[in-house]
Amino acid sequence: MGWVAAAATVASARQVSAIGKYNQAMQNRNAEVLEQQAQRIEDQLEFDIARFERQYEQLEGTQKVTTLKSGVTFEGTALRIARANAEEAELQKQIMTYNSKVEAAQKIEQANFARMGGVIAKKTADAQALGLYAKAVTTVGTQTEFGRSLLS
């Protein structure tokens, strides 16, 4: 009967180990998805900045045409407004860049934590499996000692 219990315990240990490997693989996949999200955030930034620059150039062109059409020369107040708009546009691009870098960094950090969680899941399963293997050896060892004492 001890051999049957030991065999069942070994099977349990293997199953625990397999579950640990699966959990680690799942966490690694989660990490990859998060890293892909970080990349998409960076790609989206490039798209958003390009779109913003096009819109700004259109606004700037419209403003120049409107100013010149009204008979005002493009100096003094009109020039100060254009300069202020250019500074504001640059500030907006910097804010967009900063926000996307923060968001991408958060995704990378989440990916790192997912990988660490996978390693912890695997190590925990390995420790549980080791305990079950030790239990199986103890069961077989006790059975063997019991059998020897009966034969003596």
Q: Report the SS3 class of residue 8.
A: helix
C-alpha–C-alpha distance, residues 143 and 152, integer Å: 14
CB 79 within 8 A of CB 35: no
Tally of structural domains, the chain: 1
Q: Could you give the angle at which helices 77-151 and 2-69 cross, rounded to 10 degrees?
A: 180
- Least-confidence region, from 8-17, 80-89, 97-106: 8-17
- In the chain, the amino acid numbered 42 is E
Give tens-digit pLDDT for 15-62.
988 999 999 999 999 999 999 999 999 999 999 999 999 999 999 999
76 by DSSP, 3-state: which? coil
Note down the domain range covering 140.
2-151
